[in-house]
Each structure stands twice: as C-alpha cells, then as structure tokens.
Amino acid sequence: MKIGLFGGTFDPIHFGHILPVKQARTQLGLDLVIYLPTAIPPHKPGGQVALPHARWTMVELALLSDPGLVADPFELTPEKEAFTVDSVEHFRSAFPADDLYLLIGCDSFAELHTWRRWEELVAMVRLAVLVRPDWRPGALEAQLTPEVAALMGTDRVCFVTNRPVAVSATELRRLLATGAQPPEGWLPDLVLQYIQKYNLYR
C-alpha cells in the first residue's frame, strides 16, 4: 500500500487542508492519507485557539464522507509536543512493508533543517512537497540549506503540484471571531455547524 501522512493544527480544518491532499492522493496513487491533528505543535508554541478535542472532531467531520482520508490520534498528546519524526517512526513500524509519504507544504520543506532529527526522518519516509503549479525548482532551492537542497532530485523527495486554495486558518479565525459568515467554499458545512454550535472562535 501507499500511505500518506499529513500533520497540522487544523484550527480549524478548511478546504486548503483537504483539496491539495486529494490532488496529492490522486497524483501519487495513495491508497490512504492519515491526518494527524497535533495537540501541541513544536513550531507554533501557544498559537492554537480551539482545544485539541474540538480540532480532532472538526477533522473527523471534514473527512467523514471520504474513506481514503482518515484521522489518527497519535499526535493528540496534550501533555507533550508532537515531533514529526516520532510519528514517522511510529507509522514506519506500524506499516513496515508499505510506501510512506509525508505530505508537507513548500514553506515547511524550506524549514526542514530546523526539524528534530530531520535526516533520520527522510531516511524513514519520502517527502511529498505540495507546490503551486507555477513553482520553479531553482527558486525553491535558493531558500534551502545545502543539506536539504541536496535531497532535491533524489528518491527521498517528490513534488506534487496543486491548485492553490485561497483560505487561511488565521484569516478564518479572525472572521469567525467577528461573527461573520465565512465565504462559500472555505470550509465544509459540518465543520462550520460545529464551530457555530459551540461558539469556538468567538
């Protein structure tokens, strides 16, 4: 099997977290993508607004209708930060014979050298970097450290182009805090209903 892993705070989950992943699933032929809602992300200290169980529920509601996209609570550990290398290690031993891909945004790839044990991470999993259709390898390479740039062109990294989705969770929270209705196509209806039922961002 080919399995993708996709971590995030999902505060809240929106179509920018879903449509590019669906495109990556098709392009890479992934049987399954496992979403990993993170209770405490190392790169965003103190930044998340909704409680972990609420962010988890929103991810479940958003993925409900798609059997190829599932959520796993491995990073839902409110007592400790979730490091991606630990998750990758866990799924590597859970699926020893399968092809594993870690789906990450271009920005995250440019920061890879700051991740804990990143060299071990890329030895265990292939990186599928989500890029815009107009991306230029040279421009991306210029943002990378020489060690990370050396991964480009190897079998450890592949690039998946996807149409950009103009939604950001930060902007969504700002809008929801004012009581305004988010524009059509920003997030799944069930997620919006859940947010409004519990006044999550007000």
Q: Which residues bind ligand ATP (CB under 6 A)?
A: 8-11, 16-17, 20, 104-105, 107-108, 164-165, 167-170
The alpha-helical segments, DSSP class H, found in the chain are 19-28, 52-63, 84-94, 106-110, 118-124, 137-141, 146-149, 169-177, 189-197
DSSP 8-state code for residue 39: S
Question: Quick one: 8 or 151, whose CB is closer to ligand ATP?
Answer: 8
Beta bridge partners of 41: none
Residue 38: phi, psi to the nearest 5?
-105, 125
Structure tokens at 49: 């607004």
- Using CB atoms, what's the residue nearest to ligand ATP? 16
Question: Quick one: 11 or 91, whose CB is closer to ligand ATP?
Answer: 11
Give min distance, CB of 173 to ligand ATP, in A.
7
Question: Quick one: 16 or 52, whose CB is closer to ligand ATP?
Answer: 16
Instruction: Report the Cα–Cα distance between both ends of the chain, in Å, rounded.
Output: 42
Those residues with Cβ within 8 angstroms of residue 133's Cβ, 6 or more apart along the chain or in another chain: 161, 162, 163
Question: Quick one: 69 or 167, whose CB is closer to ligand ATP?
Answer: 167
Question: Quick one: 88 or 104, whose CB is closer to ligand ATP?
Answer: 104
Give min distance, CB of 157 to ligand ATP, in A.
15
Give min distance, CB of 96 to ligand ATP, in A.
26
Give min distance, CB of 75 to ligand ATP, in A.
11
